Structure 1
Amino acid sequence: MNPNIDSQITSGGTGAAASSVNQISRVSNALLVVLFVLLSVACLYPLLLVIAVSFTDEHAIALHGYNIIPKQLSDYAYRYLFKDPGEIIRGYGVSILVTVVGTIGSLLLTALYAFPISRKDMPYRNVLAFIVFFTMLFSGGLVPWYLAYSVAGLKDTLWALIIPNLVVPFNVLIMRTFFSNTIPGSLIEAAKIDGAGEVRIFAQIILPLSTPVMATIGLFQTLTYWNDWFTSSVFISNNHLVSLQYLMYKVINNIQYLNSGRVDASVAGKVAATIPTETVRMAMAIVGIGPIILVYPFLQKYFVKGLTVGSVKG
């Protein structure tokens, strides 16, 4: 057979196969786009519904239920919440301060614990790692936990909101795995040969290379501190030191108490009639998630990389 004809047949077959693959690829991409659009809508819809309900009149909700488009616009829920704006601002200040200080301190302490136990030349590294793992399985319970911090004199202080969540065992194990799989031992040895000490190695080499895992753990801790209301309920009796989440929790409890029937009907009826029960709950959700939702866009790329790094060995 003529070699030219063979080459034409071969190139024609290759072109047809490539065209078929490209067509399949376009169809797959279109399906993936549609799938992710539907998932995005499914994720955004509850948030948009909460926002819509928070700006809906209470009586319209009683008549028509929840709607993504308010039947009757009203900002009464927000005006009710901000009757005492100083209390809300104070709660914001406490939550922001505790979240920032707690997250930075947690990242530092977690890294300082995880890095040594990731080193193969660290004496008793397995014992120290087992201690961390053991605390994930067993704890002293609520009463010893309360007594330990009370005896230490941390009640009614901001340290009572920061210290309990400073070191999370699960985060230590995640960071140790990252250090073990990502930081080569030869890099540390080279730094030692150049005369770098352990502190300099940790501060100038390890931490800059650990941005993904630090961002991931930082996001975990930020959410933990921001959403924590239970610690305030246990240790804080000073109204000037309660977090925003616990402040919102108290508002909901007060509304539920007024509607429970345990208050004199004449008094409760007059008060409850002026409280936007459903809309104020949604307004509190919006007030509570406002600042924290801004953290995600800045940490998203590091968060994804931090979850996947080390999953495949090179």
Structure 2
Amino acid sequence: MKKTNLTQHIGPSLIHLFFWGFTIVSLLPFVLVFMVSISSEDSILQNGYSLFPSDISFAAYQFLLNDFSEIAKAYGVTILTTLIGTIVSLMITALFAYPLSRADLPFRRTLSFYIFFTMLFGGGMVPWYITYVNMFDLKNTIFAMIIPNLLLSAFNVLLMRSFFSSTIPEAVIESATIDGASELKIFFKIVIPLSLPIMATIGLFNTLAYWNDWYNCMLFIDKPELYNIQYLMTKTLTNIQYLLMKSNSSAQVGDLLAKMPRETVRMALAIVGIAPLLFAYPFFQKYYISGISSGAVKG
């Protein structure tokens, strides 16, 4: 009996220990990036990357914040596009997925196949670009960072459809219909409140997609005042790499690079770009796992 009780205590403890170790190992890259970003350039060149920097320096962040207004403006653009894009995309996805989850929808299988087909085949980049620039006139507008490739995801639609099909009881919908509730009232008053896990999960997917996107900005935006934070960071890195290539042929560029934190600024850029998401993720985590597992029960 004692042996059984001991085994019951050791088993969960080992599992907890394993996951704590896995968590620490997963966090180490983020800690390393942060430690390198606050190291001096000379210590990086002499000792390489280290979790325990020998010389603390915030020169990389000072270099990035020399033009704070530009970074603040880019953050504003990113936050605006992320908020608008996530909310609108989440609503469109839910409005598309819910009818597909209803067994009485005409041509339900045809519509589902049409969505799945878009995951496999596309029209090509050139007609895609021409359509958004010439037909919809999205060039140099905030909508260019919201609509193309991001506003609606076929994977998210199918995931949400599976959640509705496996989680929302058909009897609840039938009861509401008998009581005289309209389809919109059923959707907003019953389906949405019962679907918070999948809504939070898809919302997190959309938030990550919009926050990390720099490709649309590169293609459609020429005005610096409309740059988002990711493209601004990418452009900064590109400029540093260009200076590195030119340093061998120009003494003036070499003197400039000597005063510039080259290695540490790359890590500081990563921290500036990802820090807000790291703070926001814990608020979504409790819904994230349940939404993924419930949405994957059946297709």
| TM bucket, shorter chain | over 0.9
2:141 corresponds to which residue? 157
Q: Deviations over 1:109-151 (max 9, x none)?
A: 0000000111111011111111100000001111111111101
Amino acid of the residue matched to residue 210 of structure 1? S
Q: How far apart, CA to CA, are the structure 1 residues paired with 2:248 and 2:119?
A: 43
- Which of these residues, 40, 48, 59, is aligned with residue 57 of structure 1? 40
Q: Where in structure 2 are the equivalents of 1:269-308 lying within 5 Å?
A: 269-308=254-293
Match of 1:36 in 2: 19
CA distance in 2, matches of 1:46, 1:290: 14
Query: Partners in 1 of 2:285 and 2:60 — Cα distance?
Result: 32
2:126 paired residue number: 143
**CA distance, structure 2, for counterparts of residue 311 and residue 113 of structure 1:** 18
| Residue in structure 2 matched with residue 244 of structure 1 by the alignment | 229
Distance 2:239 2:194 in 1: 49
**1:90 aligned onto 2:77:** no
In the alignment, what sits opposite 1:25? 8
Whichever residue aligns with residue 11 of structure 2, its letter is S
Aligned to 2:200: 215
Amino acid at match of 1:250: K
Q: 1:121 aligns with which of 104, 107, 130?
A: 104
1:99 to 82, 87, 90: 82
Give the letter for the 2:108 counterpart.
R
Aligned to 2:182: 197
Q: Distance in 1 between matches of 2:247 and 2:101?
A: 57
Larger Rg: 1
Offset at residue 260 of structure 1 (A): 1.3
Residue 260 of structure 1: aligned partner: 245
Amino acid aligned to 1:156: N
How much does 1:311 deviate?
5.7
- Code of the residue aligned with 1:209 in structure 2: it is L
**Residue pair 2:160, 2:295 contacting (<8 A) in 1 also:** no
Change (3 A) 1:98 1:195: same
Distance 1:263 1:229 in 2: 30
Q: Deviations over 1:204-225 (max 9, x none)?
A: 1110000000011011110000
Cα offsets for 1:218-274 (capped at 9, x unmatched): 111100000001110000001000110000000000000011137742122122112
Gaps of 5+ in 2: none
Which residue is 1:178 aligned to?
163
Letter in 1 for 2:100: I
Match of 2:115 in 1: 132
1:64-83 residue pairs with structure 2 within 5 A? 64-83=47-66
Between 260-269 and 299-308, the greater mean CA deviation after superposition: 260-269
Question: What amino acid is aligned across from residue 194 of structure 1 in structure 2?
Answer: D
Is the Cα–Cα contact under 8 Å of residues 81 and 142 in structure 2 kept in the other structure?
A: yes
Aligned equivalents of 1:34, 1:286: Cα separation in 2: 29
The one-letter amino acid paired with 2:52 is I
Instruction: Tell me how many residue pairs correspond in the alignment.
Output: 296
CA RMSD for the aligned pairs? 1.4
Q: How far is 1:32 from its partner?
A: 1.3
User: In 1, Cα distance between the equivalents of 2:230 and 2:295?
Assistant: 36
Compute the TM-score of the two structures, normalised by the length of structure 2. Answer: 0.96
- Whether the 8 Å contact between 2:93 and 2:152 is mirrored in structure 1 is yes
